Chain A
Amino acid sequence: MTVKTIQVSQNVLSANREIAEHNRAKLNAAGVVTLNLMASPGAGKTSLIERTIQGLEGRLRIGMINSDTSPAAMDAERAERAGAVTVHLNTAGRCHLDAGMVRDAMDCLPLRDIDLLLIENIGNLVCPASWRLGSHWNVLIASTPEGDDKPYKYPRMYSGVEALVINKTDLLPYVSFDLDHFTRGVEALNQGLRTFPLSCRSGTGLDLWFDWIASIAVRKATMAL
C-alpha cells in the first residue's frame, strides 16, 4: 500500500456546474428557453407562474418544474390547471434545487413540444443563488410586503440574477416599501438589472413581463406528421 496526495483544486460545486451545463445544452438542442424563478416564500411565485401561463396562452407552449420541500402538490396543480405541462419535484426537505434534480425532472417533460420552461425554485433567498441549474435566465421575484431592505440583506441573491420582478405593487400604499431605497440597493449590486414592477392581483405591469418573455422565447414550428 502506498499513500499519496492528489492535487484537486476544484470548486465544491463544480459537479453541479457540469450537470447544469449539460442541462443547458439539452435545452438549447430542444429549443426551450428556461427561467429559474427564485423568491422568498410568499412573494408570489406560483401566482406569477399562473398569470404567465394564462397570459401567454396561444403564443408559447409552457412546461413547468415546480418544487417543494414536501409532497404537497397544490402549486403544481395550480400550474397544471392554468395549462402547463407540469412536473412536481419534492426535495425532501432540501432548501434549494440543484442541477441534478432539474436534469431528472427534465426527463419527465416532452421538451420538443415546449417553448418555455419555468422552474419554480424553493422559496428561499439564500441557497438557490449558489446552485446553477442550466436555465437561461435567473429571475428573482421580490414583493413589496417583504420590505425595501432585502437587496441589502441578501446581496448574493440580488447580484446573481438577470431579471427582477417586483410583485404586489398594488400594496405600495399600505406597506412601508421605499422604492427608491430598494432600487439604490439593487443598482449597487447589479447595475442596469432588467426590472418588472407588477401586480399579479390587479394585473398592472403584467403585459411588459409577458412581452419580454415572448421576446426571449420562440414558438417552434410544429413538425408536420
Chain B
Amino acid sequence: MSLKIRTKFGSIKIERRLTYPRHISILTTVLAILLSFAAVAVILTLMGINAFEAFAVMARAFIVPRLLFESVKQSIPICLSALGIAIAFKMNFWNIGAEGQIYMGMIAATGVVLLHVYYGAFNEYLLLPLMTISSFLLGGVWCLITSFLKSKLNVNEILTTLMLNYVAILIVDYLIHGPWRDPKGYGFPLSIAFPNYAKFIFVLDSPAYTGLLISILAAAAVFFVMKYTKIGFEINVVGHSLNVAKYAGINVSRVIMLGSFLSGGLAGIGGLSIVSGIIGRLRPRASPGYGYTAIIVAALAGLNPWLIVVASLFFGGLLTAGESLQASMNVPKAATQMIQAIIFLFILMGEFFKRYQIIFERGGNGS
C-alpha cells in the first residue's frame, strides 16, 4: 500500500519496506512497550490512581526476591501453553483453547493424585511422571477433538476451542464442588493438598527453579522438533500452504491432528504446573486466564520458542505485579488484563511499522 497524504508543506508517504533491519525491529518493540505504558498511565490517572506509584508497585514484581519467584512460577504455565500454541499457530490452526486444555491437564493430574491417595494406586516415585503423561494426554485429546472436527468437517476451530474452554472450566467446577471436594476441607471447594512428592519441587526444593527448568526443556524440545524432525517440517509446510502440502503428498489431516495433540498436550502440562507447582491442589478458577495470556505471549514472540520463554517471564511478572497492585493499592485485577491487552495491541501495531516505513517528502501540493 502506498498511502500518500499531501499537505501544504510536503507529503507523507507510507510504503512497504524492502528489508527488515534488526535495529528497526527492536526499536519498534521497545517503542511499543513504552507507548503502552504511557497509555496505561493515562488511563490510571484518569481514574484517579497515581500512575507512578502504581508502576513502582508493579516493578517490585521483578525486583523483590519473593515476588520474583512468584513471577517465575506464574510464567511456567504461560510458557508451556504458549509453546503449544506456537505449534498450532504455525500450522494455521487457531488453537484458542489453551485455557481449557490447561484445565483438562489439571483434572488429569489431580485425578492421578486422588487415585493414589484414596485408592493406594501407583508408587510414590511414579506419581509425577504419571501425572505428566496423563495431563499431556488429556490436554492433547481436548484439542484433538477440535482438530478432528476441523479436518473431517471443516468446523471452525476458533469457535470450538473457545467453547471447550468454558466447558472445561465447568467440569472442574463440578468436580471440585462435588466428588473431588476435600471432605476435611470445611466445605470449601478445594481438593486435598498434594503430597510433596507430587509437587514441582525437585530442583533446589523450589517450584520456581523446577518450573524454570521445565520451561527451558520444553522450549528446547519444541525447537528441536520444529527444526529437525519430519513432523516439524510437515507442520511448517502445512502452515504455509495447504495446497502445496497436499501436492507434496503430506497427509494434512494427520499433521493437523498430531500437531494439535502436541499443542493441547503442552498446555495440559501447563495445567499440571499450576496444581503441582503454584497452588498445590485443585480449586475452581485455578487459572486466572493463563491460556489467554499464552496466546499473547506466543504472538508477541513471533512463535519463536526461546523468545516465548523470555516473554512468559515478562508476563508472569506482569500478573504478579497486578496482584501486588490489588493488594496494596486496591486496583482491581481486571487492570492486569487490560494492561496485557494494551501492550498486545501496541506491539501488534508495531508489527505494521516494522513492515512499512513513513517517508516525508518536501515540496508543496502537486505531484
Q: Do A and B bind each other?
A: no
